[in-house]
Chain A
């Protein structure tokens, strides 16, 4: 078991290194330079563009060959120095430190919302198989999967903020993160992000429940005279949970990287998605590489945690 974890960790580091290298090379071989954004200001002040550009590049070591830049970046990273953000004029770690909580909160709330509702609806649909409720749940999940999250976000803003006036049309950063006002303004973003996830969970829960609903141990449980709620909630659900855990954990990875970014942009939430997009447009490579790296490690960690969690859920599973 210990060897397995060590092997997986080494493997994760190699994958993360590969992704870091690809991102770094993509950003640094591109035609634009982080200095470009200063140039308009420099020209407006009547200074000589080329000499100032060279001075800035020399200061941040951008004029050195790309391999040298890469190795010095890697060296710094291994010493815990994540670099300097050109666009925000602060250390990358500080920039990420002040924004990660917004993304974390959004993803956490959306996932809780999706798991509770999705697993609940899926269980009900399985128990009431082939009834009107089951069909409605199945149509709902098809709709939820097919609706683009960012458009759903726009529609929620249109109906609940613009026309009904229940919410503000912008995200107010003045509230403390866990205050009631802040949670209230997260209702729409959480729905926009969560409904897509939820729809998937309904389908997977339903089919995982159906796989177990007609097994012999269920008949035994019923024959023992157990109440239906115990049969479904304990005997069937516990056996259906293993495939569900995989889906939910893997889905979390795509939420971190896809849905949450777009949701942040639609609702103007200043999380890491917003930060990394601004950084891409500003050619602020240190920030982009750092955010990509953190996200990658998160996904790799979630995958490892899922595999280890299995051994707890299903003690028959052993890793070599």
Chain B
């Protein structure tokens, strides 16, 4: 369904095709990949949970030692107490309670509330940091390819240094120096994660640059800006979208790993933070280590499935 709009450019009226058919075509191809759709479904669910969940859930940071180490609904824990006066063992069974359906941790914090808070943080960090990294990577990649010569060389050598830099060590180092806060974590991951994107976009832009339609628009007197923004970037758009989708899981894992080793933002509860508490109570409260890990795993899996499906949908050579 191609709609024709009349747009005025520089005093000349031009018809512009808003190609809805293309979007429809990609969606139809994507729909055939069931795993990819399932991934998208889980991402949407997570986004809704992270956006609206915290308004309904309990306070994830609320500590209540009376209800510590409660198991999830359907499970129970046993507590054996030896009474020294009567020399008898009394075994109390603590079943899961419906006011804490997923249990509580060693400080009595509600697991459900913490997981909801974690989904908000994971998605936020994942999207923002990937946004920064991919924009920076695209900009530097296109710039590098377009400028060529010594500027290209310099940019690519700098990319090499950044790529060889031990990423996780750098992350820990910077977060240690500037203090653990979500803003710092997002900025650091964003500012260090652009190298792969820059290289890929550069090589793609280099091959596009010599193509006939670019030469044609140059011959028609198009400015550098116009060529970059109207021809180069739209032609690498699908590549950018796929790359962004597939880099989100890495970012989410990096944030979780950082919080897991105790360098997360202390003011917020992320899945990694819960795992950090959970690793010390593996023998008394296994669910504290299991639940956030399952969420993390499902999230990463969903983005991988969805990204993989997107790549196939955008690739005209792939059969879906």
Known interface pairs A19-B164, A281-B176; A146-B286 also in contact (CB < 8 Å): no
Per the CB 8 Å criterion, the residue count for chain A at the interface is 42
Binary flags per residue of A267-303, CB closer than 8 Å to B gives 1, else 0: 0000000001100110000001001100110011000
Alpha-carbon distance A295/B167, docked complex (angstroms) = 11
**CB <8 Å contact, A262 and B165:** no
Q: Report the minimal beta-carbon distance from B75 to chain A, rounded to whole angstroms.
A: 14
Residues in chain A near residue B289, CB distance under 8 A: 151, 154-155, 158
Q: Report the minimal beta-carbon distance from A148 to chain B, rounded to whole angstroms.
A: 5
Alpha-carbon distance A242/B195, docked complex (angstroms) = 24
Q: Report the minimal beta-carbon distance from B262 to chain A, rounded to whole angstroms.
A: 9
Stretch at the interface among A26-34, A71-79, A211-219: A26-34
**CB <8 Å contact, A151 and B293:** yes
Residue of B nearest to A139 (CB): B35
| Interface of B: prevailing SS | helix
Binary flags per residue of B157-185, CB closer than 8 Å to A gives 1, else 0: 00011001111110011101100000000
**CB <8 Å contact, A31 and B169:** no
Alpha-carbon distance A314/B97, docked complex (angstroms) = 64
- Is A101 interfacial (CB 8 A cutoff)? no
**CB <8 Å contact, A148 and B165:** no
**CB <8 Å contact, A300 and B279:** no
Residues in chain B near residue A162, CB distance under 8 A: 282-283, 286
Per the CB 8 Å criterion, the residue count for chain B at the interface is 34
Known interface pairs A15-B161, A154-B293; A257-B167 also in contact (CB < 8 Å): yes
| Interface of A: prevailing SS | helix
Q: Report the minimal beta-carbon distance from A22 to chain B, rounded to whole angstroms.
A: 7
**CB <8 Å contact, A261 and B165:** no
**CB <8 Å contact, B168 and A257:** yes
Residues in A172-218 with C-beta less than 8 Å from chain B: none
**Cβ 8 A contact of B173, one of A15, A32, A280:** A280
Alpha-carbon distance A30/B286, docked complex (angstroms) = 38
**CB <8 Å contact, A154 and B297:** no
Interface residues of B (CB under 8 A from A): 160-161, 164-169, 172-174, 176-177, 249, 253, 256-257, 260-261, 275, 278-279, 282-283, 286, 289-290, 293, 296-297, 300-301, 304-305
